Amino acid sequence: MSPITREEAPDTPVRILHLEDSETDHALVGRALRRSELNFVIERVETLAAFWAAVRKQGFDAIVADYRLRGFTALDAWNMLKDEAMVPPFILLSGAIGESAAVAAIKLGLSDYLQKDDVGKLAHVIQRAMEMQKTRIAKDRADTELALSERRLADFAEHLQSTIEQERASIAREIHDDIGGALAAVKLDLAWIGRHVADPQTLGHLHAAGEMLQHALGASQRIMMNLRPAILDQGLVAALDWLASGFERRTGIRTTFQSTTSNQDLSKEVQLAAYRTAQEALTNISKHARCNQVGIDLTDTKDVLTLEITDNGQGFSPALASQPKAFGLKGLHERAKSVGGWLDISTARGRGTSIIMSVPLAQADNKGVGE
């Protein structure tokens, strides 16, 4: 069934299917609708078989039904329709049931109820029901489009994260192969020169160059580790321990890492997502938290991997997390979603911040297999 909306065809008559076994009552309905100057066409059926045949043959804009007919009720007709994709407004027009029964029928999904004594209001009731249905259809369509848009956005975010990781790995390899190799060669040449000159001034310059070179080598190794955390090959626990130690060494902020996880078979996707979440959280802490203590906890109780990063800093207003430019926090949420998990952020001004990433391990494993 595909009822035509009034916007699509404003001059098209309202097509009404009347389920009524009384010719007299049908005539009264027609007379009342004509008095209302409603542009309509109406077809009467009086059996369930005829009702179903009419509904399947063509679409109707509204169905008006007496409640009690020969051998069945309007609810029997409604039960034949309720699972259809597009059901037109279904209006009870009867004097055979009480108010409570009518309310119960509407709770089942029927559009409205009108007593036959008020048949003069039928045109208004039909038009109101049709408007309500158009609004409901528009909302359903908007909800569907929004869900599709959110799914496309999530897919794009996941693809973007994957692309970024691939680019990071490529850059890390180039740093290792080209820059790292060149710096190592320069270090050997400086060492050779140092063995073949005796001038103190020259040796001083060589020593200074060697120190700068060692600094460049350390920086390139640090950049490579940030781009592609090779330490993840030793497991997530080792990687997070290394990350915490390095953060404390660079910032002077006391950082503790605790782990009670017994699962050493985490997928690479989950390990990388957890590592990047901790890395991003620590970066934000160093920039904004103004704290002197950070804790990183990793657990896997009840088949859920939980990573929590907390600080005792100044915190921030939770409203900031929903601002359009809060890309870092939104990125953390999307990263968790990419492995079937979710992210919770608890914070308040002056009370520190807690970022918790949770990933159901069975779901994450299935996602990894599907990919």
- Convert the pLDDT of each residue in 39-82 to its tens digit: 999 999 999 999 999 988 878 999 999 988 999 999 999 998 87
The torsion region of residue 232 among left (phi > 0), alpha (psi -120 to 50) and beta comes to: alpha
The per-residue pLDDT for 4 is 34
What pLDDT score does 366 carry? 55
Phi, psi of 287 (to 5 degrees): -85, -35
Q: Which residue has the higher pLDDT, 117 or 227?
A: 117
pLDDT in tens, 313-324: 998 877 666 665
At residue 16 the predicted structure's pLDDT band, cuts being 50, 70 and 90, is very high
pLDDT score of 371 more than 80: no
Within the chain, which residue ranges are assigned CATH 3.40.50.2300?
14-143
pLDDT at 44: 95
Task: Please report which residue ranges of the chain form alpha helices under DSSP H.
Answer: 23-35, 48-57, 74-81, 99-107, 122-174, 181-196, 200-227, 236-251, 268-284, 327-338, 361-370
CA angle in degrees (0–180, nearest 5) for 122-53-27 = 35
DSSP 178-205: IIIHHHHHHHHHHHHHHHH---HHHHHH
The pLDDT assigned to 331 comes to: 80
* CB-count exposure of residue 355 (10 Å: 0-12, 13-18, 19+): buried
pLDDT at 327: 61
pLDDT at 33 over 90: yes
CATH 3.30.565.10 boundaries in the chain: 231-371
Rounded average pLDDT over 100-107: 82
Domain 231-371 has CATH 1.10.3720.10: no
C-alpha separations of 182 from 172, 176, 213, 217 in Å:
15, 9, 11, 10
Mean pLDDT for all residues in the chain = 85
118-123 long-range contacts, CB within 8 A, separation 24+? 119/28, 119/29, 119/32, 119/93, 120/32, 120/35, 120/36, 122/29, 122/32, 122/33, 122/36, 122/64, 122/91, 122/93, 123/32, 123/33, 123/36, 123/38, 123/40
Q: Which of 31-40, 133-142, 220-229 has the lowest mean pLDDT?
A: 220-229
Has domain 14-143 been given CATH number 3.30.530.50? no
Span 4-29, average pLDDT: 79
Query: What confidence score (pLDDT) does residue 6 get?
Result: 41
Whether the per-residue pLDDT at 355 is higher than 90: the answer is yes
* Tokens at 222, concatenated: 């640090």
Grade residue 1 by pLDDT with cuts at 50, 70 and 90.
very low
Q: 254: Cβ–Cβ under 8 A, 6 or more apart, which residues? A: 248, 292, 293, 294
pLDDT, tens digit, 9 for 90 and up, residues 222-244: 787 777 777 888 889 999 999 99
pLDDT level of residue 369 (50, 70, 90 thresholds): very low
pLDDT given for residue 29 in this prediction: 93
Looking at residue 323, its pLDDT comes to 62
pLDDT given at position 291: 94
Angstrom distances, CA of residue 308 to CA of 249, 290, 341, 353: 20, 19, 13, 10
The answer to whether residue 364 scores a pLDDT higher than 70 is: no
Terminal Cα-to-Cα distance of the chain (whole angstroms): 39
Phi/psi for 84 (5° steps) reads -70, 155
Rounded to two decimals, the pTM is 0.53
pLDDT mean over 183-203:
89
Report the SS3 class of residue 260.
Answer: coil
Confidence of residue 108 (pLDDT cuts 50, 70, 90): confident
- In the prediction, which pLDDT does 96 show? 67
Asked if 257 and 296 touch (Cβ cutoff 8 Å), the reply is yes
Q: Which residues contact 203 (CB under 8 A, 6 or more apart)?
A: 194, 197
Instruction: Write out pLDDT tens, residues 255-307.
Output: 999 999 876 678 888 998 999 899 999 999 999 899 999 999 999 988 899 99
Reported as a single tens digit per residue, the pLDDT across 144-190 is 898 888 788 777 777 777 787 778 778 877 887 788 888 888 889 88
Average pLDDT, integer, range 337-346: 91
Compute the distance between CA of residue 191 and CA of residue 183 in angstroms, rounded to an integer: 12
